[in-house]
Amino acid sequence: MNMSKESLNIPVHVSMIMDGNGRWAKERGKERVYGHFEGVESVRACVEAAVETGVKYLSIYAFSEENWNRPQEEVDALMALMVKAMAAEMPALDRNGVRFMVIGNRERLAPELNEVIDTCMKQTEHNDTLTLIVLLSYSGKWDILQAAKKMAMEIVGNPDNADELLNMDVDGFDRFLATAGIPDPDLIVRTSGECRLSNYLLWQGAYSELLFVDTLWPDFRKDEFRAAVEYYTKRDRRYGKVK
């Protein structure tokens, strides 16, 4: 795909719902975890493609709050994979100017994983070529609920500011969300043919362009990412207005 960053409307923030690892593995007679391992390669490919196309934020739905209900063996394997992948990928991310962030209910994560996350985030915090955001132990409803709790606690702690907080607009509420400081996704892509958000970025995705593709996540590589960006450049975003 021939794409000029200057002439085309490249999305600032692309978000991926990575689906189909298990099915990909099953089609090959493998255990589900095999698909998760191969899915790491797709993350790497999409990071590289995001840098090459000029995307500034790439977020990936790695593990939802609901995923804690999966078989313990699979959860344990996923957590171990994340520790290994973060440690292995960090030198390359840092070398290529990629800032690494993790957002979600980290209280549920193992201390070992949280330690690796903190190290990786600290190591890359000054990079600005691309911000890679991993949504881990995250759900949209959890995010809105924890934001409401933060707002309530601020009112309790600062009753003199109650009127100001209660009269805030939607932009003011953004600062209570787990994604505070990160632009809302311009494009949300879900792989594997499923056509739902699955409790993902419910507030932030209110005006995102949505793209559902049949490709299973382990097969979603650079060409597929570039095709998704090209799809976005052809969209006419009106935000409820008439043009």
Is 67 marked active-site? yes
**Taking a C-beta distance cutoff of 8 angstroms, is the pair 101, 72 a contact?**
no
Residue 3 φ/ψ, nearest 5 degrees: -140, 125
Is residue 199 flagged as an active site residue? no
Taking Cα atoms as reference points, which of 235, 224, 237 lies closest to residue 53? 224
Among candidate residues 9, 19, 128, 199, the one labeled active-site is 19
Give the relative orientation of helices 222-233 and 32-53 as an angle to the nearest 10 degrees. Answer: 50
Q: What are 144's two structure tokens?
A: 């809105």
User: What DSSP element (H or E) covers 73?
Assistant: helix 72-95
Active-site residue among 2, 9, 21, 67? 67
Cα angle 63, 79, 122 (rounded to 5 degrees) comes to 85
Cα of first residue to Cα of last residue in the chain, in angstroms, is 29
Burial of 82 (C-beta count, 10 Å sphere; 0-12/13-18/19+): buried
* Residues labelled catalytic: 19, 67
